[in-house]
Amino acid sequence: MIRITRRAALAGAAAALAAPATIRAQSAPVKVGVILPTSGVLAVPGQASRRGIDLGARMIAEAGGPRMEVIHADTASRPENGRVAAERLIREGCTVLVGAWDSGTTISAAQAAEPARIPLVVNIASAPQITEQGFSMVFRNFTPANVLIRNAVERIREFGQITGELPRTAVLLHVNDTFGTSIAQAVSALWTQLGIPIQIVETLSYAVTARDLSAEVARAKAANPELLMPVTRVNDAILIVREMVRQDFVPKAIIGPGSPGPYEKAFTDAVGRFGDEYMVCVPWHNPRNPRTAEVLQRFAREYPNERFELNVGFSFEAMEIVADAIRRAGSGDPAALHAALRTTDIQDHIMYGGPIRFDEKGQNNNIGGVMLQNQNQEPKVVGPAEVAEARAIYPLTPFRNRR
């Protein structure tokens, strides 16, 4: 566990967050516990999330916002460690928690936060049960799996309008952990409900710890789909693309419905041009928002070899939410912070969507979704039209033509 002392508020929102009378009344920094998988199989997105937390804390400090002490705890990518980390941070005096990226870990952390009456701001985690199990301390600024899929379906429909056709058949290939299973179940439920004219001819799953996906890719290829829909994280997305290249499996499109991984720098660095034209439907920052450009420029200066993607963005935004709650609460008292979080209303923020507001279950229902496509080894927004920064390339360029 690494301890970092920071202050809090969001750059570009100094007027909103820097309320001098309230800040002067705050006698000591509020301890904020951050739970992330910064080692183990989920280390890549976990470390990206930490960059978002730390960048947010630095920019917030410079804006003169409420004082915070950020204490990081690593879960080592093990879901059961969510509760262990939360309990440790609470013992150390943290009165609000942020985390925990993985859905299983987030539920585990919530099971410790709930009896302790400590608010948990969820930066990333999509399993629906996080806000459906009756937790009163959870405030999630990320979309549940069913909303991820619904947004993805809208983007896929728009994609058909842009290209003039939709693929006719698809294979759904997903990791079999809490996250992947939730996405697959949502796909199955919404595909028929929304009348998507694409036949899912096969659904395949694989273990989160898998190091060889040759058999799964071979089965997907044998089904001869025009669309492959992988639900992955970064390491398995790399394995899938490498196997597709090796087996010369080239469907018309690859679209991940709510899937992390392909937009991450670790993915494009690992597979290069073979990762181009891979698409994914996810929540993302708004490239048309001037504040987004400001934050991206700062990130590029401080992390020149890294990419500002959704793990960074939603973690950065979590700091905005916490700082806003501390400012309005005027203290680090957990009950006061809980009451403040329940009345959150942040209008201007960097992630695409409407105002940040939490319903009675602690869910922000105003988060949008975009379709990204890797082009020249960089993710570009290709839909919806109001925020698109590039045109989609379709159909997929054969791998043999990219060497």
Per 3-state DSSP, the chain is made up of helix, strand and coil in percentages (nearest 5) of 45, 20, 35
Compute the distance between CA of residue 171 and CA of residue 167 in angstroms, rounded to an integer: 11
Give CA angle at 296 (292, 299), nearest 5°: 140
Same structural domain, 191 and 205: yes
Residues 49 and 153 in one domain: no
Whether 95 is covered by a domain: the verdict is yes
| 192 shares its domain with 265 | yes
Which residues on adjacent β-strands are paired with residue 169? 199
Q: Is residue 185 part of a domain?
A: yes
365, part of any domain: no
* Bond preceding residue 100 cis, omega within 30 of 0: yes
Strands 67-74 and 2-7: antiparallel
CA dist., res. 301 & res. 290, Å (int): 17
d(CA 139, CA 291): 24
Residue 312's CATH number: 3.40.50.2300
Could you tell me if 243 and 335 lie in one domain?
Answer: no
Query: How far apart are alpha carbons 318 and 347 in whole angstroms?
Result: 14
394 and 264 in one domain? Answer: yes
If asked whether residues 259 and 209 sit together in one domain, one would say yes
Is residue 274 located within the same domain as residue 309? Answer: no
Residue 403 neighbours by CB under 8 Å, 6+ apart: none
| C-alpha span between 358 and 138 (Å, rounded) | 10
Neighbours of 201 (CB within 10 A): 16
Same domain, 60 and 189: no
Same domain, 107 and 238: no
Note the pLDDT of residue 193: 86
Q: Which H helix or E strand runs over 259?
A: none
Q: Is residue 331 part of a domain?
A: yes
Q: Give the H or E element holding residue 146.
A: helix 145-163
Written as one string, the DSSP assignment of 151-217 is HHHHHHHHHHHHHS---SEEEEEEE-SHHHHHHHHHHHHHHHHTT-S-EEEEEEEE-TT-S--HHHH
pLDDT at res. 234: 87
Final residue of a domain: which of 323, 342, 361? 342
The whole-number pLDDT of residue 225 equals: 98
Whether residue 225 is contained in a domain is answered as yes
Mark whether 255 and 385 lie in a shared domain.
yes
- In angstroms and rounded to an integer, the radius of gyration of the C-alpha atoms of the chain is 21
> Considering 303, 324, 342, which residue would you say is the last residue of a domain?
342
pLDDT value of position 181: 87
| Token code pair at residue 56 | 């947010």
Spatial separation of the C-alpha atoms in residues 26 and 326, rounded to whole Å:
9
Mark whether 121 and 195 lie in a shared domain.
no
pTM for the structure as a whole: 0.84
Looking at the 3D structure of the chain, how many domains does it have?
2
Domain around 132 = 2-143+287-342
Q: Enumerate the β-bridge partners of residue 200.
A: 170
The confidence score (pLDDT) of residue 2 equals: 35
Does residue 171 lie in a domain region? Answer: yes
Mean pLDDT by 10 residues, the chain (403 residues): 35 38 61 97 92 97 94 97 98 97 95 98 93 96 88 83 87 90 84 88 94 97 97 93 98 91 92 97 93 95 95 97 97 97 97 97 96 96 90 94 85
Both 199 and 264 in one domain: the answer is: yes
Domain assignment present for 363 = no
Two structure tokens written together for 204? 């395949």
The one-letter code for the residue type at 317 is E
Q: Which residue in 98, 107, 85, 82 sits closest to 31, CA to CA?
A: 98
339 prior amide bond cis, ω within 30? no
What stretch of H or E contains 255? strand 253-257
In a domain, 291, yes or no: yes
Give the separation between CA 135 and CA 192, rounded to whole angstroms: 31
